[in-house]
Chains A and B, each alone.
Chain A
């Protein structure tokens, strides 16, 4: 039984009891508990089931390394799966449910897998489900997906908010244990800007549990005094509940701050993702204790020795009445001593080592009356859902049982591994420390910055110093070195690390398998990775089958691939692999450490970007009017343009048809503000535009407009638009809606990188103007009603522009047409855009004015055979494909794309050419459909000879019209092509001219 002790609990506020539920059962805890300590206090050792075999799983650890204690936390909009019980602070009303079991935690059908485990070794899925191949998609994968997985996926929208924060500092210290505190203090004393972050709610790390003295006083005292000193310094920021999630290039660090996880009713964001730029980083991330590999080491009740003493000391929780300690080092003796001091029973310490003399801790344990068996280990653990005892054996043997000891907890320690994750994220290398049997940072191969100099320093236990005095001295040096590297050298005679004393420890002895000669039956039950069910036998099998690289063995066995990313299993696993391969551990190496250190919430990554500000929506000055008048929106880049203005009782299609007819018969208004407008000015502007466009722009006269095409250097069409010459030195270039920024930077790039001596400046003035297209036979009347400018055919011919006043507005009027109708585009300052729109709607009332959207715009231009960038062009189309030879200057020596268009593939006469397509039965061709030809292509697919690029129902012609690219199209007028649709129908369409409506162009010519 695990239970709450009457005394102890360093971190608890016992005056504040909290209530929570686990699997619907109400339980009690105290303020200061983690969910793990509270569950143990309520005798809930069993917390989940493993991934593959659905084995019962209990709490193993007390911190971020916990592999088993994962729960579905919260409900509704606060539901979150895979939350670690050891890092979840208890709050009143917390609800948690265990994962990966059916129908219940106690009785799980999937646990049958465990009985079958002999038949499900490493690579089982790969070997079994490969053949026959179709079964993978339809049978195996759906079945495995159903059986696998840990937590449930959230179904509701997240109730919480999240944010980012950009911070800058000289020295960032990650980890608020004694090493982090000392490093921060040493760095801060130099005057450097220091930030110290700690993932838990408490300063001091494990030192207060493990004890020792600093400057003659208890280590707690040192922690309190150092925190107080740092808090008083203006150049220091201290943050708790903030994990260093990842270290990236150039001193960029992600800090994951959990603001309200422990207080869900608090106002404000739940998580804050800090995006920190630090000149120097100190990783004081401590160390993680390793499990030992013996049979039954996954049975609930088998825990890390350090975790057992954490629960006793920090939370006043007894994991069990009788604890057998099994170890290969002195450190675990602290657990036995702590348990004994708390009045609990320790029937034996099984020490795999054989030492000539008792160390200080051994002597202390023995003096407390604890039986210490040297050279012994666990043969196997007894029990199912809970430990009931251990069978002990000689470590040197094969597991013959010498004795059975009843117990309900096994506290194991296989030594300590420095947390090298953050050191390694950005390329820091490791060395093997044979004395500690652990990888530690190689100080000569630190991560380096742009200057080739190191920017990460490991400190304390994380750098391999295990004893208190060494930890503080190492951290002091690390803090000073980091500050110096950041430009803040310590003053002469700066304070040194305080003296510390700690019980001396005898050397540990590496133990990778217990007993060392364990046979297959025992190895088959000796777990390495608890969450993913990887055992010693699986890694050995992988090695035997040729997966010799540690990265391959990891993926074949799934060792270290679970949500804990192998914090407990990696070193043990690669030691087994090395042994199987008969090579030293450093030769095997480690798998790659990647951020984040522990999983961070998706919400924190998204930050503020959700709801209204998920992404920017660009609005024209008339956006609100459109919204109020039935606009259905079409996204065009980040802009929203009205697709159509739908009236009540009308479908979208009805609205489009109505708008299209009305623009041809009466008067239409289009919000064209989104079109790009770029000013190009300078003595060399004409020369520059002649290079930018395929046609000649330098010869354009002031007051005139010209339609132009732009290509990239390969000759492909990238944009089009109307260019107006404003004065001798100034041109105004219109771009497509999505093209303004792209074309602006295209121009800047050529000016800055190729033609920097040319006297040309460009400016993007797209948003300075609202632009309204006034379209239709009554367009001129509308402008005359506004009054103020002569817009007659005589004064303002087609492709003219003029500045003037209309209805009291200062405007620039372009007589241009993308519809084939009489049409004027009126530009006005954006801050008057809505007012002009209102004025046009008012004067148009008698003329049958209707606003129209982008779909109507498309139909109008398609009826006239005008191309659209993005429909007729797709990045592989040159103007010549579209019959636009007339817009490509033959006179110019050069323009961007000219050389590209001369290449053999571009002049290939079999390039598909633009034509009009008219369905035989007046139906509308499916968009993107291909015309089929006889025979098959090289891939055995049906041969094709054309495709649809634009297709609409034209209300003005009352039939389907389309444009497409067709092999030898212009030479095949009148031929009928077949376009199979995805609806199973075969559409027949005749090749015609792309100009369907008013082919003589008489309508705008009035």
Chain B
């Protein structure tokens, strides 16, 4: 079996006011279904023993996570090499329930943006209130990052995880680099 290579192969930038790196391969499963049904809940939690997220929230723990994407869609995070097994597990949990579950790991790129200025770097690119009071740990936001779609959450204090489409990975990385350029501290948060 040939090696799997993420979009930017863990490229990183540390020359600015926040650090940027592509974190490499992250398993991701799109799960669509009735999020209140027992079958869908158990399919989601069979992969990660985390609580079902409320609207606009994500339950995450390391490489595992359940992220609320829309009223009938979750993004399930797991290690990249566990996706196939997890899809199988989910299928078993779902049984005959109407749902869609599909591997989207390779359709995405994931970035980490970290440092004391991470919030303001991201606030240059996304139309979201990122003040510490407004955007807190556990929130998950699908939005726009400059000219591309992006979703993000706080992985740790001052550390964002940002998901983009794989084809946009280079643009996203270059964009975060520009937004983190030296001397561009805002001092708003």
Contacts and interface: CB of A to CB of B under 8 A. Distances in A.
Is B one of A's binding partners?
A: yes
B82 to A, nearest CB: 14
Contacts of A23: none
Interface stretch (A456-464, A475-483, A765-773): A765-773
Interface string A160-172: 0101111110000
Given A166-B128, A618-B168, A679-B100, A268 B146 contact: no
Contacts of A767: 106-108, 165-167
A272 interface: yes
B123 interface: yes
Contacts of B186: 165, 272
A741 to B, nearest CB: 9
Main secondary structure of the interface of B (DSSP, over half): loop
B2 A835 contact: yes
B46 interface: no
Interface string B147-186: 1100000000000000001111111001100110111111
Contacts of B98: 682-683, 759, 761
Contact of B183 (A267, A763, A831): A267
Name the interface size band of chain B.
35 or more
A639 interface: yes
A829 B2 contact: no
A78 to B, nearest CB: 16
A487 to B, nearest CB: 14
Contact of B124 (A608, A681, A839): A608
A766 B106 CA distance: 10
Interface string A266-278: 1111001001010
A166 B148 CA distance: 16
B33 interface: yes
B85 interface: no
Q: Which of A161, A269, A759 gathers most chain B CB within 10 Å?
A: A269
Contact of B120 (A165, A269, A639, A762): A165
A766 B183 CA distance: 39
Name the interface size band of chain A.
35 or more
A840 to B, nearest CB: 12
Nearest to A168: B129
A275 B2 CA distance: 47
Contacts of B166: 621, 767, 830
B2 A163 contact: no
Nearest to A766: B107
A161 B146 contact: no
Given A168-B134, A267-B182, A163 B124 contact: yes
Interface stretch (A328-336, A377-385, A609-617): A609-617
B120 to A, nearest CB: 7
Contacts of A759: 98
A129 to B, nearest CB: 43
Contact of A835 (B5, B33, B104, B170): B5
B146 A608 contact: yes
Contact of A613 (B5, B99, B171, B183): B171
Contacts, number: 144
Contact of A765 (B5, B102, B182, B183): B102
Contact of B169 (A164, A266, A268, A619): A619
A688 to B, nearest CB: 13
A682 B100 contact: yes
A231 to B, nearest CB: 12
B59 interface: no
Interface string A172-197: 00000000000000000000010000
A267 B5 CA distance: 36
B186 to A, nearest CB: 6
B107 A166 contact: no
A268 B184 contact: yes
Contact of A619 (B30, B146, B170): B170
B107 A768 contact: yes
A100 interface: no
Contact of B4 (A163, A237, A639, A831): A831
B123 to A, nearest CB: 5
Given A829-B4, A835-B5, A166 B178 contact: no
Given A166-B126, A763-B32, A639 B167 contact: yes
Contact of B99 (A167, A761, A808): A761
A832 interface: yes
B175 A808 contact: no
Interface in B98-148: 98-100, 102-108, 120, 123-131, 134, 146-148
Q: Which of A168, A831, A839 gathers most chain B CB within 10 Å?
A: A831
Interface string A319-358: 0000000000000000000000000000000000000000
B179 to A, nearest CB: 6
30 contacts: A161-B181, A165-B120, A166-B127, A166-B129, A167-B123, A193-B131, A266-B183, A277-B129, A608-B125, A613-B146, A617-B170, A620-B167, A621-B166, A679-B102, A681-B100, A682-B98, A761-B72, A761-B100, A763-B30, A767-B106, A767-B108, A808-B2, A829-B106, A830-B7, A831-B4, A831-B6, A832-B3, A834-B5, A836-B2, A839-B2
Given A607-B146, A612-B174, 10 more contacts: A161-B181, A165-B123, A168-B134, A613-B171, A613-B175, A683-B98, A759-B98, A761-B100, A767-B166, A830-B107
Interface of A: 161, 163-168, 193, 237, 266-269, 272, 275, 277, 607-609, 612-613, 615-621, 638-639, 679, 681-683, 759, 761-763, 765-769, 808-809, 829-832, 834-836, 839
